[in-house]
Amino acid sequence: MRLERRNAPPASLILLSIGLVVGLMALSGSALIYAAGAPVWASWGAMFTGAFGSKLAITETLTRATPLMFTGLACALAFRSRLWNIGAEGQLYAGALAVAALGSGAIDAPAVVLIPLVMFAAALAGAAMLLGPALLKRYMNVDDVVTTLLLNFIMALFVSIMIQGPMRDPLAMGWPQSMHVLDSITLDKLISQSRLHTGLLLGLALCALLALVESRSVFGLQRRAVGLNPHAAHFAGIPATRVLLWTAVGSGGLAGLAGAVEVMGLRGYVAGDLSPGYGYAGVIVAMLAQLHPLGVPAAAMLVASVFVGADAMSRAFNVPSFIADVMVSLSLLSMMGASFFLSYRVRR
């Protein structure tokens, strides 16, 4: 038995692979619901109505998808150039801290100036956090997976120091959380009486912009070349180092923005539970989207709907809401399996 590389997978296989991923998700989900002793069909019903059943449910799913879109884009961007950024979680918190530091009264400026300024600062903070590992990878040969992973833990502890110490909100009844950001930089709600905010539009715009950059710009071509074959790219005169570092800046910046929109659009402050693993889920979103920027919104919606739906299901039938995490991580693994058939042809 031997493997043969495919140039482009046929459309029928792509559809089949999506079917495989969704099918495995449904199968594993049913098994877990059954194991929890809940009625399978009714639980799926509760999950679906919880994620899409009403206007409120849909806005909630979109709200949850917003940060996933940013972290998913961040991972997709980095992975395409073979920069293994597993640190989106830490970069998200770096961005959130930057917003809380600058946006809660430290700078007094009109909203038109202040909003872009704090967002830029958040992107910068995230970018700085990834630039370190990228530089270490390039010049010192340090494995980027390990450094970006460890930085997540360092950042989580740093956040804990800041919100218990210098940035603590004295009015928060003893809860460790940062000061509220100014009302002027709070993102507008898209639909009244929901939690959906304009961060969603920013995320969608960035997906479109990145899709253009990837397919229509020199930088996009260089990035893909570096990802496909670094040696060939170098031979073709592509400045691999510059491409890697700019990719790091872009990826870290996007993850930093995820933290910014969560603070400015939803929470209003930084706390230790700002992100329930959006950084790690970003890896899943990126892989489900097959690293394509236009696939990211759909993948983020899928992941978000599983999480929001599982919350509803666990309220209704007492199935642990961790079922969402299991289903989503299984979807990642089944996607890996599917992409084998997409990239290789098996010959006898």
Partner 1 sequence: MNEAIDLFFTASLWAAVFRIATPLIFGMLGELICERAGVVNLGIEGIMTFGALSAWLAVFHGCDLWTGMLVAAASGAAFGLLHALLTVPMAQSQHVTGLGITLLATSLVSFIYRLAVPAKSTPPTIMPFQPVDLPFLNAPFLAATAPTYLALGLAAVVAYVLWRTPLGLAIRMAGEHPQGAQAQGINVLILRTGCVMVGSAIMALGGAFLSLAAFNSFVINMVQGRGWMALALVVFGAWRPGLALLGALLYAWFDAYQLRLQHVFPGVPYQIFLMAPYVLSIAVLIPMSRRASGPQALMMPFVKGER
Q: Where along the sequence are the contacts to partner 1 (CB under 8 A)? A: 2-3, 5, 32, 35-36, 79, 84, 86, 136, 140-143, 145-147, 149-151, 153-154, 157-158, 160-161, 164-165, 280, 283-284, 287, 320, 322-323, 325-326, 328-330, 332-333, 336-337, 339-340, 344
In which residue are the tokens 């299901």 written? 313
The dihedral through the CA atoms of 206, 209, 214, 220 has a sign that is negative
With contact defined as beta carbons under 8 Å apart, do 67 and 264 qualify?
Answer: no
Q: How far is CA 274 from the centre of its chain?
A: 14
CB of 70 to partner 1, least distance (A): 18
Instruction: Show the tokens assigned to 128.
Output: 């700085």
CB of 62 to partner 1, least distance (A): 23
Q: Which CB atom, from 206 or from 326, has the smaller least distance to partner 1?
A: 326
User: Which of 29, 47, 32 minimizes the C-alpha distance to 316?
Assistant: 47
Q: Coil, helix or strand for 189?
A: strand
CB of 147 to partner 1, least distance (A): 6
CB of 139 to partner 1, least distance (A): 9
Q: Which CB atom, from 144 or from 202, has the smaller least distance to partner 1?
A: 144
Q: Which CB atom, from 44 or from 219, has the smaller least distance to partner 1?
A: 44
Q: Which CB atom, from 86 or from 115, has the smaller least distance to partner 1?
A: 86
Q: Which CB atom, from 134 or from 151, has the smaller least distance to partner 1?
A: 151
CB of 302 to partner 1, least distance (A): 15
With contact defined as beta carbons under 8 Å apart, do 68 and 281 qualify?
Answer: yes
Q: Which one-letter amino acid corresponds to residue 150? A: L
Contacts of 218 (CB under 8 A, 6+ apart): none
